[in-house]
Amino acid sequence: MSLVKTRGLKFTYPMAKGEVLRGVDLKVESGELVLIIGSSGSGKSTLLKVLSGISPYLTGGTLAGEVRVLGKNMKRRRERNEVPGRVFYMPQEPEYYIIFRRAITEATVPYLEESSKLRQAELLGQKALRKWLPQISPNSHTATLSAGEKQRLVLSHLEASTSELYLLDEPMTHLDAEGRELFRRCLTEKVRQGGAAVIVTPSPEGYWELIQRANKVLLMEGGRIGPLPEPVHCVDNVRSWSRTPETPLEVRSPSPSKFKRSENPGGRLRLSGKSSRREVPQRGKSERYEVRKRCPIIEVHSLEVSCGNRELFTGLTFAIFEGEVFLIKGRNGSGKTTLLRTLLGFVKPQRGVLKAPWIGESGWRGGSGLKVGYLPQNPMDIFTCETLIEDLRLSWAKGRRSEPFSFASRKFIRALYLEGLEKEDPFNLSAGQRQRAAIASVLIGFPQIIFLDEPTRGMDRKSYVALKRMLGELSPTTTIIISTHTDLFDSLGDKVLILDGGGEGV
């Protein structure tokens, strides 16, 4: 039975210059797993919104062509209203899915449809929390959860769902290795039971096991869908995969990380790194730089930070020197974002010593003479203007103005593939485009110290390769601190800080 059938599907947003979907033909049968890979802005999220009934009825816009979901014509209101209860849709940003304040309430809601008894539903919700979020209290406020924890909470709804069709928009963006494995097992079971799943992602990175199991792996570019060319060969810095008509999909494991955890059996934090001399690729060549380390820019000694009743980390001691690339890594809820915000002075530690030029007794004080750039986990927090070019101009004016604006803006727009988006409202861009725009807004001020919180969120492969190259060129003269749960920046890092326990607060 065809659960999804589209023919010549076209969609245009209000006030948009052109069509986002341009004649999409897609067919999904019961029990199928379909993976759609496409670059940022190719129309992946819009396709799922149309299939779920969100567009155009909540977003506005013009829909043309044939689109049937579960046998219902989505262009007819009466038939469309029969679909939502049978379709599970997970948006790109998990915070938009969560409604309730308490984690236990949010986890219990999916079970209320199956059980008429509230107590029984609560027990099932508690069981789901212990599986997906074992480190948090059931009464934790959902606003204090990290992005990875929020995504886990939403995926606990997936496990409880009895829907026939699952539409998942980049479901593993914020998940660590453990969370990804939980998701893969859950989704595989849903498909085995006869459900169908459509997953969209900008990059195959992290989806290798699902690619092996997928019935269809499709490519989406420019609002159109087609099969991946045969043979397919995609080489990534972390993994490579190939597919030919004669051989099944081959998955190769990534090379071991060059960072090794130091021996610290009793500690919850481990610190290790490599020599301060490193090779940085620039303009196709490798040049060796000597990083001068006179005195540390940031000093941390016996730091303790808590969020509510959650103890994030204790006894944290390290130093960050000028010109270093410092990585903060850890699983979901380990405290990466909280540590980054503490180093910025936005979060006040309970105990310990934190020294940085921009931090006073009450936190952030500025006036240090150093230009600091900060990319938050949600890039929408930094946009204030109506167009991208205006945001870039504002960031440049507040920065060091090392280069004329016309030259600097062209350089970053070209390097981060933002051509043609200069006059667009950042809030109307796709998640990947918005992330690249936010990075350009941070870097165009040429800050001396850069804080990046999960900078590859929603980005396709060519975008994070470009970002990695840019950071490599900046690192000899710029201090860069990156919070991430991936291994993409390991080759750039001078030091890596691994947080083993605790949670991540806001």
220 versus 485: the higher-pLDDT residue is 220
Domain containing 160 — which CATH number?
A: 3.40.50.300
Do both 311 and 177 map to the same domain?
Answer: no
Choose among 224, 489, 483: nearest CA to 333.
483
Q: Which two tokens stand for residue 298?
A: 């940031």
Do both 276 and 213 map to the same domain?
Answer: no
Do both 394 and 425 map to the same domain?
Answer: yes
Give 253's pLDDT tier (boundaries 50, 70, 90): very low
Q: Which two tokens stand for residue 50?
A: 């149309």
Report yes or no on 90 lying in a domain.
yes
Report yes or no on 188 lying in a domain.
yes
Give tens-digit pLDDT for 447-500: 999 999 999 888 888 888 889 889 988 877 899 999 988 888 888 888 999 887
Give 282's pLDDT tier (boundaries 50, 70, 90): very low
C-alpha to C-alpha distance for 93 and 213, rounded to whole angstroms: 25
C-alpha to C-alpha distance for 228 and 217, rounded to whole angstroms: 7
Choose among 286, 321, 336: nearest CA to 479.
321
**pLDDT value at residue 473:** 87
Do both 325 and 473 map to the same domain?
Answer: yes
Q: Which two tokens stand for residue 156?
A: 């606990």
Q: Which two tokens stand for residue 328?
A: 């903060």
Which CB contacts under 8 angstroms, 24+ apart, belong to 469-476? 469/281, 470/415, 470/416, 470/443, 471/325, 472/280, 472/281, 472/282, 473/280, 473/282, 474/443, 474/450, 475/280, 475/323, 475/324, 475/325, 476/280, 476/289, 476/291, 476/323
| Residue 309, Cβ density class (10 Å: 0-12 exposed, 13-18 middle, ≥19 buried) | exposed
Contact present, 167 and 48 (Cβ < 8 Å): yes
Q: Tell me the backbone φ, ψ of residue 156, rounded to 5 degrees.
A: -65, -30
Do both 372 and 411 map to the same domain?
Answer: yes
pLDDT, the chain, mean: 80
Final residue in a domain of this structure, among 222, 251, 280: 251
Give tens-digit pLDDT for 415-444: 999 998 898 888 888 888 889 999 999 999
How long, in residues, is the chain? 506
Average pLDDT on 232-260 reads: 34
| Domains contained in the chain, number | 2
CB contact set of 281 (below 8 Å; sequence gap of 6+): 469, 472
Do both 30 and 85 map to the same domain?
Answer: yes
Final residue in a domain of this structure, among 206, 224, 251: 251
498 versus 231: the higher-pLDDT residue is 498
Q: Is 47 helix (H, G, I), strand (E, B) or coil?
A: helix
Do both 220 and 287 map to the same domain?
Answer: no
Choose among 3, 166, 163, 6: nearest CA to 75.
6
Contact present, 451 and 373 (Cβ < 8 Å): yes
Contact present, 118 and 112 (Cβ < 8 Å): yes
CB contact set of 180 (below 8 Å; sequence gap of 6+): 172, 206
Do both 161 and 46 map to the same domain?
Answer: yes
Do both 168 and 282 map to the same domain?
Answer: no
Least confident of 26-40, 364-378, 426-440: 364-378
Final residue in a domain of this structure, among 217, 251, 285: 251
Domain that holds residue 218: 2-251
**pLDDT value at residue 153:** 92
Report yes or no on 263 lying in a domain.
no
C-alpha to C-alpha distance for 128 and 134, rounded to whole angstroms: 9
Report yes or no on 261 lying in a domain.
no
The sign of the CA dihedral 403, 404, 407, 413 is positive
Report yes or no on 448 lying in a domain.
yes
Contact present, 479 and 320 (Cβ < 8 Å): yes
**pLDDT value at residue 30:** 92
C-alpha angle with apex 261: 257 to 266, nearest 5 degrees? Answer: 160
Q: In what order do the strands lie in the sheet with 296-307?
A: 310-321, 296-307, 351-355
Do both 183 and 308 map to the same domain?
Answer: no
Angle between helices 461-474 and 431-443 (to 10 degrees): 10
Report yes or no on 504 lying in a domain.
no
The pTM for the full model equals 0.77
Query: Is residue 105's pLDDT more than 60?
Result: yes
Do both 138 and 198 map to the same domain?
Answer: yes
C-alpha distances (whole Å) from 410 to each of 195, 255, 404, 414, 418 are 47, 36, 10, 6, 9
Report yes or no on 372 lying in a domain.
yes
For tokens 């291994």, the residue is: 487
Report yes or no on 257 lying in a domain.
no
State the amino acid at position 177 in one-letter form.
A
Give tens-digit pLDDT for 120-159: 888 888 899 999 998 888 888 888 888 888 999 999 998 8
| Residue 218, Cβ density class (10 Å: 0-12 exposed, 13-18 middle, ≥19 buried) | middle
Do both 363 and 469 map to the same domain?
Answer: yes
Query: Is residue 259's pLDDT more than 80?
Result: no
Q: What percent of the chain has pLDDT over 90?
A: 31
Give 235's pLDDT tier (boundaries 50, 70, 90): very low
